[in-house]
Structures are given as C-alpha cells and as structure tokens.
Structure 1
Amino acid sequence: METTIMAITIDPRTAHAPQVQTVLTKHGCIITTRLGLHETSEKSCSERGLILLHINSESNEVEQLENELTEIEGVNVKSMTL
C-alpha cells in the first residue's frame, strides 16, 4: 500500500460537483481523509472548488480514481505518492 495526496480542482464547482461526488463515493473505501475548500464572503461564493484527499491504496486503484475524475469536464487532478 502507498500513501497518496491528491488535489482536485473543480471549475465551475456547482456544475460538476455532483459528478465528482459520485466518483468519490464509488472509491470511498480508499479515501482516508477528504477536505473540501472554496472561497466565500458575504457577497459571493467561489465557483472554483478544491478537494484534498489522503488515500491509502495500491497505485492501480489511485490511477483508476484519477482517470475517472479527469473524465469530468472542469476537473483537474494532481497527486503525489509519499
């Protein structure tokens, strides 16, 4: 097993977040920690979202997750293995 940190950007967040959520739920058993971030203020809520994942899994499972996420329009993925 490897430890992977994955960063996912979603833009526009409100349009593509449901598809991203479906993929993350499908692969939920390999995700140890998930942190979702987006900028907010009294007057606006950012359309660019950022999700950070801590994953413990074999590299082929991480690759499958990354491939499914990048198939979604507006989603970019970067990851590093520790």
Structure 2
Amino acid sequence: MSKDICIVGILVENRACHAPDVQQVLTKYGSQILSRSGIPDPTKERGIITLTVQATENETESMVNDLSHLNGVTAKSFCLVEAMQHPA
C-alpha cells in the first residue's frame, strides 16, 4: 500500500484539559508525522494543530478517527496526492 502526503487539521477546544489526550494520539502515530505546527487562539481556550503526514490511507484514517473520538477535538484530513490525481 502506498504512503501519501496528507494534511491533518486538528481543532482542540479547552486546550488545557484535552491537550494530554491529543498528545497521546500524536505519539501513537509519531512515525507517520513529518511536521507539526500549532497555533493557540488567544481569545478562546482552543488551539489549532496542523500536521503533515506520510502514511497509508488506512493509517491516516485511523489517526483522524482516534483524534475525532476525543472529547473537545475535531480532526479532518486532506491528501495532496489524491487532489493532484483528481483535479477540480
């Protein structure tokens, strides 16, 4: 199975409470993560994390699923290879 380059966006509400759970999931998938960027929202208790991953479709789906099942966390992915193969 091929590994594609994908972007995973994560919105974490109530960062102080949910950050440890998010970090646990990211550690689980650490070997697929190429880069990570985080931006706190200073006006609210939330933050956005953007990941660039190189993973199989199943690995990316599993990561997004694990993150999405956490309380206060929303996660979505976008695979760049798929977008290049199917232009809009």
Query: What TM-score, normalized by structure 2, do the two folds share?
Result: 0.84
1:24 is matched with 26
Unaligned runs of 5+ in 1: none
Counterparts of 1:73 and 1:30 in 2: how far apart (Å)? 23
Unaligned runs of 5+ in 2: 81-88
Match of 1:3 in 2: 5
Is the 8 Å Cα contact of residues 11 and 75 (structure 2) preserved in structure 1?
yes
In the comparison of the two structures, how many residue pairs are matched? Answer: 78
- Residue 35 (structure 2) pairs with residue 33 (structure 1): yes
Higher RCO by CA contacts (8 Å cutoff, separation 6 or greater)? 1
In the alignment, residue 20 of structure 2 is paired with which amino acid?
Answer: P
Match of 1:64 in 2: 62
Please give the per-residue CA displacement for 1:20-76, whole angstroms capped at 9, x wherever unaligned: 000000100000000011134xxxx74111000000010000011011101100000
The TM-score normalised by the length of structure 1 is: 0.90
State the Cα RMSD in Å.
1.1
Q: Between the two proteins, what is the percent identity of the paired residues?
A: 40
Q: Which has the higher helix share?
A: 2
